[in-house]
């Protein structure tokens, strides 16, 4: 694998050079405005656009924008420039000359614009503010890139698959998927990454290192960026908005994952079957159904699980913890979804409507079972005979006929039954007098 560092340095140099050119252009525009304020006559007009200049030389330089002429060639490489000032700035890359020193530290720079940006680290100045969310930036280019979060603009398109990106750097990283160039492979598990920074972050999974801690709740993270995203939970800042439903998110990645609900994009395909998924974690969880892998072990018993979420739910059985309390009564639950389901008893809410009739349900699972009445679908087959069922609970009850299992026992006489309704009927009819007394 080739060392990605030279490419990275070249990218930084090119970015700095482009930044400087933009700033020089802005300086030229400011100079023109000053001349206008002084009443300087602009007698030289561009024949291609409406721009006018005080000096003929300025017009000649400007014409290079339209003609594409680059009369100034670097003496060290084949790169050419429209303006001598840009050539001079570029040649400092080759000579190593850095005539501009920071007034706050000893760091030196080859371009004044880059020095000016650096000095804002010391001064804390962030002159470019977003008019949508108030976030401020040290560079105008950062603000321009940030605004795409609000506008949804994605001007950079992959010529291989058509995928669009808000930033050119993201497109460059994405292209490695197609070219397989500069990929980084973990020497611990063989996992492949498109960026060296992603590999470095991944390696902390193996070392268990979590050096970044939240000063509000103490939670630790292996990656500083994950800590920053987490801290927005405390501040309540949600600066990323979905343009389809206006839902807001604390991170761009969360927004990106959410948007797949609207686009129905499923870029992750199972390597064992043709099933596709919107999220990589869902794919990983699904693939465990093929491999049988259960990496998550209960700390209280020997039971293992394919997903960390299922493990957490299971462990609540051992701890007895019920953190979710009903807002209508004193009942408590170990799972948020159980609380939500229970509260519908109080509210009478039934959000799930049958697509075949007007019947409504408080739970999606009950709707799915009900709709099988209309479709005739019976996906559950008895493992002892050919009988099929629309509900897995009916299948289990039926199979007890074959196995002879009777899990329900009468607390009065000890008689056992294979279903709860038979036990209730027995208690009501046989032991009515006993329960009354």
pLDDT of 256 reads: 82
Looking at CATH, the fold of the domain delimited by 156-291 is given as Double Stranded RNA Binding Domain (3.30.160)
What is the total residue count of the chain?
A: 437
Give the mean model confidence (pLDDT) for residues 62-83: 84
Give the mean model confidence (pLDDT) for residues 193-200: 79
- Only one residue has tokens 């268990």, namely 208
- Only one residue has tokens 């014409």, namely 63
Residue ranges of domains in the chain: 9-124, 156-291, 380-436
Q: Label residue 40 by pLDDT band (50, 70, 90).
A: low
Domain 380-436 has CATH 3.90.79.10: no
Q: Does the pLDDT at position 38 exceed 70?
A: no
Average pLDDT, the chain: 81
Q: Find out whether 111 and 88 touch, Cβ atoms under 8 Å.
A: no
Give whole-number Cα distances, 299 to 83, 206, 215, 222, 285, in Å.
69, 20, 28, 23, 20
Domain 9-124 has CATH 3.30.160.60: yes
179 — phi, psi (to 5°)?
Answer: -85, -25
**Identity of the highest mean pLDDT range in 60-64, 140-144, 210-214, 386-390:** 386-390
Half-sphere exposure of 261 (CA within 13 A, CB side): 10
Q: Does the pLDDT at position 21 exceed 50?
A: no
Are 9-124 and 380-436 the same fold in CATH? yes
Q: Label residue 435 by pLDDT band (50, 70, 90).
A: low
Count CB-CB contacts under 10 A for residue 67. Answer: 9
Q: Does the pLDDT at position 44 exceed 80?
A: yes
113: exposed, middle or buried (Cβ count in 10 Å: 0-12, 13-18, 19+): buried
The region of weakest confidence among 139-153, 180-194, 338-352 is 180-194
Beta carbons within 8 Å of 196's beta carbon, 6+ residues apart: 4, 184
Q: pTM for the full model?
A: 0.39
Residue 227 token pair: 């800590």
Q: Label residue 386 by pLDDT band (50, 70, 90).
A: very high
What is the rounded end-to-end Cα distance, in angstroms, of the chain?
84
211 — phi, psi (to 5°)?
Answer: -80, -10
Helix, coil or strand: residue 364? helix
pLDDT of 432 reads: 77
pLDDT of 27 reads: 42
pLDDT of 371 reads: 92
The tens digit of pLDDT for each residue in 90-123 reads 888 899 899 999 999 999 988 888 899 899 989 9
Alpha helices in 180-322 (DSSP H): 196-207, 224-235, 252-263, 280-291, 308-319
């Amino acid at each position: 694998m080739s060392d990605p560092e030279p490419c990275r340095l070249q990218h930084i140099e090119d970015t700095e050079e482009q930044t400087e050119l933009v700033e020089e252009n802005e300086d030229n525009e400011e100079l023109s405005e000053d001349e206008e304020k002084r009443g300087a006559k602009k007698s030289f007009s561009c024949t291609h656009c409406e721009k006018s200049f005080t000096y003929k030389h300025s017009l000649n330089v400007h014409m290079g924008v339209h003609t594409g002429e680059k009369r100034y060639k670097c003496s060290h490489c084949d790169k050419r420039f429209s303006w001598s000032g840009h050539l001079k700035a570029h040649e400092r890359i080759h000579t190593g000359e850095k005539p501009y020193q920071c007034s706050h530290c000893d760091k030196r720079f080859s371009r004044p614009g880059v020095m000016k940006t650096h000095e804002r680290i010391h001064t804390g100045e962030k002159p470019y503010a977003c008019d949508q969310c108030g976030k401020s930036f040290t560079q105008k280019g950062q603000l321009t890139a940030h605004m795409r979060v609000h506008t949804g603009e994605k001007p950079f398109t992959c010529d291989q698959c058509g995928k669009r990106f808000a930033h050119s750097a993201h497109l460059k990283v994405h292209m490695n998927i197609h070219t397989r160039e500069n990929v980084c492979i973990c020497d611990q598990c063989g996992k492949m990454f498109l960026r060296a920074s992603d590999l470095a972050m991944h390696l902390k999974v193996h070392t268990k290192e979590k050096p970044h801690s939240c000063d509000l709740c103490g939670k630790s993270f292996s990656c500083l960026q994950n800590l920053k995203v987490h801290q927005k939970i405390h501040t309540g800042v949600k600066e990323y908005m979905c343009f389809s439903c206006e839902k807001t998110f604390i991170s761009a990645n969360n927004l990106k994952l959410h948007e797949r609900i609207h686009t129905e994009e499923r870029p992750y395909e199972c390597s064992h079957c043709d099933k596709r998924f919107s999220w990589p974690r869902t794919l990983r969880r699904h693939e465990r159904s093929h491999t049988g892998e259960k990496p998550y072990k209960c700390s209280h018993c020997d039971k293992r699980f394919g997903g960390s979420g299922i493990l957490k739910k299971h462990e609540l059985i051992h701890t007895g913890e019920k953190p979710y309390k009903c807002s209508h009564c004193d009942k408590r639950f170990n799972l948020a979804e159980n609380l939500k389901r229970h509260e519908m008893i109080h509210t009478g809410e039934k959000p799930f409507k049958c697509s075949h009739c007007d019947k409504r349900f408080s739970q999606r699972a009950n709707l799915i079972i009900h709709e099988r009445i209309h479709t005739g679908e019976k996906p559950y087959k008895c493992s002892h005979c050919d009988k099929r069922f629309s509900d897995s609970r009916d299948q289990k009850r039926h199979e007890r006929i074959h196995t002879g299992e009777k899990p329900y026992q009468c607390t009065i006489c000890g008689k056992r039954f294979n279903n709860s309704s038979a036990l209730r009927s027995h208690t009501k009819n046989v032991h009515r007098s006993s329960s009354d007394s």
